[in-house]
Amino acid sequence: MKQVAQAFLCLTFIISACNDTVPSADSNLLSSKDENNELNDVQAQSAKEETGTQKISNDISIATSGGPELKRTFLSYETDEQVPSSNTTSPGKPIYLNVILSKGWKEEMGEVAIGASQKISSDDGTVLVNDTDLFENYKSISAEDAKYIKLKAVVNKLSPNIRYFIVDYKVWDKNGHGMIKGSYRFFVNK
């Protein structure tokens, strides 16, 4: 437990309505691979866009229900450069989950209300963060902006015994039945 206490996570909630930016909330996501590196979500292996590029990258496990339609999901750095398939970052260097929808949530006058939760665990199962609603202070956002969800994770210090981080995430429609949930795993270079 003392070793886990050495791992400090810095999460920042960001949501933006600019045309070229993506609404964002800091979070970490649970890996789509189990200990044997097998995907938990078969969709992650077979989903492809019409262009032939992967619809789901970085071994992200994701499932949608009740309305949202996934266009693409991937991990990126703060520079918008895509994270390599190894899902590695370094201490203090943020990693972002990007979820892009072709259609999304139940609209009311061009606005939607969504919630987002996250649970961050170390590889030994110790829960480090368990946020129930990252969007609780936001009554609504533009329906167009809500098609671009960006969740951020930063590890500033790392215990030598932690090999990777697992993050479970969920985004839901507060006015309807839509939901997105899943997980991913990321590693921090020592």
Q: Which residues have C-beta within 8 Å of that of residue 80, sequence separation ≥ 6?
A: none
Q: In this predicted structure, what is the pLDDT of residue 183?
A: 96
pLDDT in tens, the chain (190 residues): 333 322 323 232 222 222 233 333 333 333 333 333 333 333 333 333 333 445 999 999 999 999 899 999 999 999 999 999 999 999 889 899 999 999 889 999 999 999 999 888 889 988 888 889 988 998 899 999 999 999 888 788 788 888 999 989 999 999 999 999 999 999 988 7
Rounded CA gap, 153 and 12, in Å?
8
Q: Angle at the Cα of 133 (from 128 to 134), degrees rounded to 5?
A: 80
| SS3 of residue 174 by DSSP | coil
Here the tokens at position 62 are: 């994701």
Q: How many CB atoms lie within 10 A of CB 51?
A: 7
Taking the alpha carbons at both ends of the chain, their separation in whole angstroms is 20
Q: Which of 123, 114, 187 is nearest to 145 (CA)?
A: 114
In the chain the domains, ranked by start, together with CATH numbers, are: 2-188 (2.60.40.3880)
Dihedral sign, Cα of residue 101, residue 104, residue 110, residue 114: negative
